[in-house]
């Protein structure tokens, strides 16, 4: 559904802030693609765009692709912004630029919902999810689009059921310029890991869309030109296991009907390994990647952070089980935990080798507002409010420099090209080999798709195979794939591997942040060229 009954017409400019360099956005891979410029279409802003009254013209700008221009601001009557904590400086900068045109600016999304006080300059704060606050914002702008004299804070008390969410306005985004397509099925998570703000922000009882909505969204993504991979951005795809089981047959059916045009990926807790009935359906639905927040291989640490559910099966066994259904595991890892010891880094590197996981996002612990971790550290006097010059706002129990050095060493060693491609080789041999064989669709055989593949191969061969300083390692891997005619198995690891190697090199010499949340080294107000 969308907001209704509004007689006036307002032109709304939705601006998504630029991300700065981050491990998880794969920007070193973009030059190897056929024109990718950004990571994923932002769900929140595209959802709001779809919810606005039908007669309100909407323009959507992702500043990862191009900056909002003078002409955009002159066109608009109000500006909407949304984003995460790491985009805070960029969001405040969009507000400053919009105010130069005397436009009212509203901000919504996870960052302002957790920390309204980060955004003193905005005219409207939309706190919480889509719901009564959204209707109130629309009504106020319909009545008067000029800037209010004081900041107005609108809080959602009555959330719109997800079954009534409109399909995000994917048609406004240049979907072909994104690395991945995105889709959201659920919101919230039943667990309460100490460091995580999801239960606090979105609740412990996951809310859900219907399978029919998801199928309609997949159809729309396809119509808009998404091919390749689609990522379920839900924080825990199995937050409601029964619902996941209900959805999966629909996904299988859709994949069969469309000829398996999309590879699917999601985030889920590691205890998914205990659910063969879910894993089997995921295999059939062509899920190829699962991001698991493993966080640490240390059982004492998992207990301390209230992530005991990661120990429902032995961790390595759980990873192997998921792999046996054709799904590569991507893992989140946290360093700087209270349970860390001087030898934690070495134990982590041993785990990386044993697990054979190619891609692990290794971050320093950061305390987010609205988390049990924040409350505990605040009581213990271990929160650092002015964290400029540091990569974390946590006073670690080990010396700060020791923790950061250990992180840098882990990044350096884990992403040495030889080690990384050996892990990818394992995935080819033991994980990818377990995937269902999908038919070659007319879309895949189309000239446009072949051309796309050839452009990517040309870029990879030239930039990595000829100019790259790890070309010997690359060719050893690539020739193996080429001999098997496995072009997809070559392109994916080559692109992602290149990003990981480049990012880790910068990280190991202190040129990248040790936390995805730290704003050190992040530039403010630099929209895409
Ligand atoms: S399982 Fe994941 S989403 Fe759920 S509370 Fe823990 S970290 Fe957050």
- What three-state secondary structure class fits 175? helix
Ligand 1 centroid – CA 7 distance (Å): 43
Best mutation site among 293, 305, 310 for ligand 1 pocket (most ligand atoms within 8 Å of CB): 293
**Torsion angle, alpha carbons of 510, 180, 48, 129, to 10:** -60
Which atom of ligand 1 lies at the shortest distance from residue 239's CA? 4
- What three-state secondary structure class fits 187? strand
Phi then psi dihedrals of residue 483, to 5 deg: -60, -30
Write the residue with the smallest CA distance to atom 8 of ligand 1.
Answer: 196
Ligand 1 centroid – CA 192 distance (Å): 6
Would the pTM count as exceeding 0.85?
A: yes
Write the residue with the smallest CA distance to atom 6 of ligand 1.
Answer: 193
Handedness of CA 107, 108, 112, 113 (dihedral sign): positive
Tokens linked to 426? 């394992």
Burial class of residue 268 in the structure, from the number of CB atoms within 10 Å of its CB (0-12 exposed, 13-18 middle, 19+ buried): buried
Contact 500, 359 (CB under 8 A): yes
**Torsion angle, alpha carbons of 251, 423, 409, 516, to 10:** -10
pLDDT tens digit at each of 529 positions of the chain: 777 767 789 999 999 999 877 787 888 999 999 999 999 999 999 999 999 999 999 999 999 999 999 999 999 999 999 999 889 999 999 999 999 999 999 999 999 999 999 999 999 999 999 999 999 999 999 999 999 999 999 999 999 999 999 999 999 999 999 999 999 999 989 999 999 988 888 888 889 999 999 999 999 999 998 888 999 999 899 999 999 999 999 999 999 999 999 999 999 999 999 999 999 999 999 999 999 999 999 999 999 999 988 888 899 999 999 999 999 999 999 999 999 999 999 999 999 999 999 999 999 999 998 899 999 999 999 999 876 778 899 999 999 999 999 999 999 999 999 999 999 999 999 999 999 998 887 777 888 888 989 999 999 999 999 999 999 999 999 999 999 999 989 999 999 999 999 999 998 887 766 665 544 333 333 333 3
What is the spatial distance between Cα 454 and Cα 456, in angstroms, rounded to a whole number? 5
Q: Which residues contact 308 (CB under 8 A, 6 or more apart)?
A: 302
Q: Which residues pair with 328 in a beta bridge?
A: 289
Tokens linked to 4? 């209704």
Ligand 1 centroid – CA 128 distance (Å): 19
Pocket of ligand 1 from Cβ distances under 6 Å: 189, 191-193, 196, 198-199, 235-236, 269, 293
Q: How many CB atoms lie within 10 A of CB 342?
A: 10
Ligand 1 centroid – CA 309 distance (Å): 10
Contact 326, 432 (CB under 8 A): yes
Q: Rg of the Cα trace of the chain?
A: 23
Closest CA to 272 of 317, 306, 205: 317
Residue 521's pLDDT is: 37
Which atom of ligand 1 lies at the shortest distance from residue 236's CA? 3
């Amino acid at each position: 559904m969308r907001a209704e009954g509004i007689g006036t017409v307002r032109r709304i400019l939705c601006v998504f802030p630029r991300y700065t360099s981050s491990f998880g956005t794969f920007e070193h891979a973009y030059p190897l693609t056929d024109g990718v410029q950004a990571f994923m279409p932002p769900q929140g802003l595209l959802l709001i765009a779809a919810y606005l009254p039908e007669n309100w013209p909407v323009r959507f700008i992702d500043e990862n692709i191009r900056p909002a221009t003078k002409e955009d601001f002159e066109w608009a009557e109000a500006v909407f912004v949304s984003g995460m904590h790491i985009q805070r400086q960029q969001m405040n900068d969009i507000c400053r630029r919009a105010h130069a045109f005397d436009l009212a600016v509203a901000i919504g999304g996870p960052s302002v919902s957790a920390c309204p006080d980060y955004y003193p300059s905005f005219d409207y704060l939309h706190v919480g999810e889509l719901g009564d606050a959204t209707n109130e914002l629309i009504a106020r702008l319909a009545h008067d689009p000029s800037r209010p004299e004081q900041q107005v804070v609108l809080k959602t008390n009555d959330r719109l059921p997800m079954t009534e969410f409109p399909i995000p306005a994917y048609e406004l985004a240049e979907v072909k310029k994104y690395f991945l397509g995105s889709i959201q099925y659920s919101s919230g998570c039943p667990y309460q890991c100490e460091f995580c703000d999801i239960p606090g922000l979105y609740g412990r009882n996951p809310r859900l869309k219907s399978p029919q909505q998801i199928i309609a969204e997949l159809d729309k993504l396809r119509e808009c030109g998404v091919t390749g991979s689609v990522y379920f951005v839900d924080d825990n795809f199995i937050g409601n296991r029964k619902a996941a089981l209900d959805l999966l047959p629909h996904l299988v059916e859709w994949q069969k009907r469309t000829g398996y045009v999309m590879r699917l990926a999601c985030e889920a807790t590691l205890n998914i390994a205990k659910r063969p009935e879910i894993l089997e359906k995921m295999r059939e639905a062509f899920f190829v990647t699962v991001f698991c927040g493993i966080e640490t291989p240390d059982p004492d640490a998992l207990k301390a952070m209230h992530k005991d559910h990661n120990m429902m099966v032995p961790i390595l066994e759980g990873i192997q089980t998921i792999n046996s259904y054709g799904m590569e595991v991507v893992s989140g890892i946290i360093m700087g935990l209270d349970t860390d010891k001087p030898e934690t880094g070495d134990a982590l590197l041993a785990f990386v080798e044993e697990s054979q996981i190619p891609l692990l996002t290794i971050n320093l612990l950061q305390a987010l507002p609205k988390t049990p971790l924040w409350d505990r550290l605040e009581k213990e006097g271990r929160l650092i409010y002015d964290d400029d010059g540091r990569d974390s706002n946590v006073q670690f129990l080990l010396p700060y420099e020791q923790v950061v050095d250990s992180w840098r060493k882990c990044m350096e060693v884990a992403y040495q090209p030889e080690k990384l491609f050996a892990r990818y080789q394992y995935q080819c041999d033991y994980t990818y080999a377990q995937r269902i064989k999908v038919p070659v669709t007319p879309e895949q055989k189309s000239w446009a798709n072949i051309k796309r593949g050839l452009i990517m191969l040309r870029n990879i061969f030239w930039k990595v195979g000829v100019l790259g300083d790890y070309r010997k390692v690359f060719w050893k891997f690539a020739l193996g794939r080429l001999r098997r005619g496995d072009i997809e198995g070559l392109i994916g690891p080559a692109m992602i591997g290149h990003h990981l190697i480049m990012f880790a090199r910068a990280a190991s010499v202190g040129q990248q942040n040790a936390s995805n949340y730290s704003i050190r080294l992040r530039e403010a107000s630099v929209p895409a060229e």
